């Protein structure tokens, strides 16, 4: 094994990373610095500090990344209306490059030569962490214990914990827990009964949204203000990106918005089934499309929609810090200059419906589109010629086919 001098570990304080911490200390016998990011996962982070201290860690980093997460990662992605395979809002995918960026920053600051993470060998997250680290500092080594040690199952993991007196949370005993990843954008749940896509997900897998069937009978109407493609206010009150998303998560959760039961294609090659809850993100996507509908030129909007699946796939596959993602981002960002105004959305039993939109930069012309008499210069005869020329080749084609 290559000699490692100092490691920065991506550490949640949960069972897996606590075991990884112990294993790193035993295997490499070097100093470990722990990094715990607050991404709005809704977990207490101080217990992570206490656990790291108990393991003899001297340098413990706990950083609140909520604002950076939403303003520099979630919002740029929202500008693209990004969805992977038509449905997934990329809540886990978009958090990885941010965590990797901070791991690299700390490694450089403390002079560490390696970064360790707790992602397993079958998932997308290992790829996302490592591609980001490669792109940000090619000199750093990566340690992925799940690919290196000979622990092969949850059961063996629990045995290792027992042997090393690492406390096992009560819900992690006996029956294995779901694999959950949560942050301000989403909660993702995988594993156990969900591994059979023919099984209906039981209600207790849902963490932050009510069943739409149990949502309030009265709709709730909200107005979101956009500036240059980014949401900046709710019901007329300006809010920071993280505060706005937090607020929308609460509203969306109450109305059962943003649930998704999906079988997706992992980059590594297998299909997997997961339950996603993205309440605020689902509202924002609908609202962003609403403001774009009146402020974007048709060709600009359609070009965005053409590149969107490619852009989403890059994020899903871990290429956030790749030149092609940055090139697409530049294109998307340029399209957003006039995407400003207000969108009113009705939240009701699982749906977020745009019901009105206004913008000082609107391209919408009532005069042009009206069914009534209008003063705008529009010659109906132009439409006749337009259709005649477009129909020309169809007539040739139909005539040939009828022969």
Q: Which residues bind ligand ARG (CB under 6 A)?
A: 92-93, 124-125, 179-181, 188-190, 272, 274
Backbone angles phi and psi of 114, in degrees to 5: -145, 155
Distance between CA atoms of residues 207 and 203, nearest Å: 9
Distance between CA atoms of residues 146 and 125, nearest Å:
12
Nearer to ligand ARG, 31 or 125 (CB): 125
Residues sharing a CB contact under 8 Å with residue 152, sequence separation 6 or more, in sequence order: none
Contact (CB, 8 A) for 240 and 230:
no
In the complex with ligand ARG, which residue's Cβ is closer, 185 or 354?
A: 185
Beta bridge partners of 260: 276
The answer to whether residue 173 is catalytic is no
Select 28 or 276, whichever has its Cβ closest to ligand ARG.
Answer: 276
Closest by CA position to 338, among listed 306, 356, 376, 364:
364
Q: Give the nearest distance from C-beta 318 to ligand ARG in angstroms.
A: 10
What is the nearest approach in angstroms of ligand ARG to the Cβ of residue 203?
A: 18
128 assigned to active site: no
Instruction: Select 28 or 129, whichever has its Cβ closest to ligand ARG.
Output: 129
Least distance (Å) between residue 119 CB and ligand ARG: 8
Structure tokens at 48: 């992570």
Q: For residues 75 and 70, what is the distance between their CA atoms, to the nearest angstrom?
A: 6
Cβ density class 349-382: b for 16+ within 10 Å, e for less: bbbbebeebebeebeeeeeeeeeeeeeeeeeeee
- State the catalytic residue, choosing from 61, 66, 96, 273: 96
CB of 91 to ligand ARG, least distance (A): 7
Q: Which of 10, 66, 125, 259 is catalytic?
A: 125
Active site residue 382: no
Catalytic: which of 16, 92, 188, 208? 16
Active-site residue, 154 included: no
Nearest CB to ligand ARG, comparing residues 49 and 128:
128
User: Which residue's entry shows tokens 């530049």?
Assistant: 330
The distance of closest approach from Cβ of residue 399 to ligand ARG in the complex, given in angstroms and rounded to an integer, is: 52
By annotation, the residues acting in catalysis are 16, 96, 125, 179
């Amino acid at each position: 094994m290559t000699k490692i001098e100092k490691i920065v570990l991506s550490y949640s304080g949960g069972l897996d990373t606590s075991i990884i911490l112990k294993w790193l200390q035993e295997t490499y016998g070097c100093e470990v610095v722990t990094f715990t990011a607050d991404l709005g996962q809704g977990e207490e982070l101080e217990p992570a500090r206490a656990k790291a201290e108990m393991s003899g860690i001297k340098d413990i980093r706990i950083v609140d990344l909520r604002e950076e997460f939403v303003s520099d990662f979630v919002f740029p992605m929202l500008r693209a209306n990004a969805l992977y395979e038509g449905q997934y809002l990329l809540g886990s995918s978009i958090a990885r490059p941010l965590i990797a960026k901070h791991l690299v920053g700390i490694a450089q600051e403390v002079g560490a030569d390696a970064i360790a993470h707790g992602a397993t060998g079958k998932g997308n997250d290992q790829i996302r962490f490592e591609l980001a680290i490669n792109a940000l500092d090619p000199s750093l080594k990566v340690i992925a214990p799940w690919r290196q040690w000979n622990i092969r199952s949850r059961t063996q993991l629990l045995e290792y914990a027992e042997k090393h007196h690492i406390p096992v949370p009560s819900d992690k005993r006996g029956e294995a827990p779901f694999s959950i990843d949560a942050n301000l954008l989403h909660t993702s749940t995988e594993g156990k009964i969900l591994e059979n896509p023919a099984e209906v997900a039981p209600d207790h897998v849902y963490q932050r949204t009510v069943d739409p069937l149990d949502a309030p009978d009265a709709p709730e109407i909200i107005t979101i203000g956009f500036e240059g493609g980014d949401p900046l206010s709710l019901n007329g009150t300006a809010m920071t990106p993280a505060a706005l998303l937090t607020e929308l998560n609460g509203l969306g959760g109450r109305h059962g918005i943003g649930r998704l039961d999906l079988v997706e294609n992992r980059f590594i090659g297998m299909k997997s089934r997961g339950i996603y809850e993205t309440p605020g993100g689902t509202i924002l996507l609908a609202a962003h499309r609403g403001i774009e509908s009146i402020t974007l030129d048709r060709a600009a909007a359609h070009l965005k929609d053409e590149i969107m699946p490619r852009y989403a796939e890059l994020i899903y596959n871990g290429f956030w810090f790749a030149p092609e993602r940055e090139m697409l981002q530049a294109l998307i960002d340029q399209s957003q200059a006039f995407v400003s105004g207000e969108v009113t959305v009705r939240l009701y039993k699982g749906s977020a419906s745009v019901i009105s939109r206004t913008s000082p930069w609107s391209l919408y012309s009532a005069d042009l589109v009206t069914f009534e008499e209008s003063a705008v210069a529009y010659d109906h005869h132009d439409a006749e010629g337009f259709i005649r020329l477009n129909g020309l080749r169809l007539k040739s084609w139909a005539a040939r086919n009828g022969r």
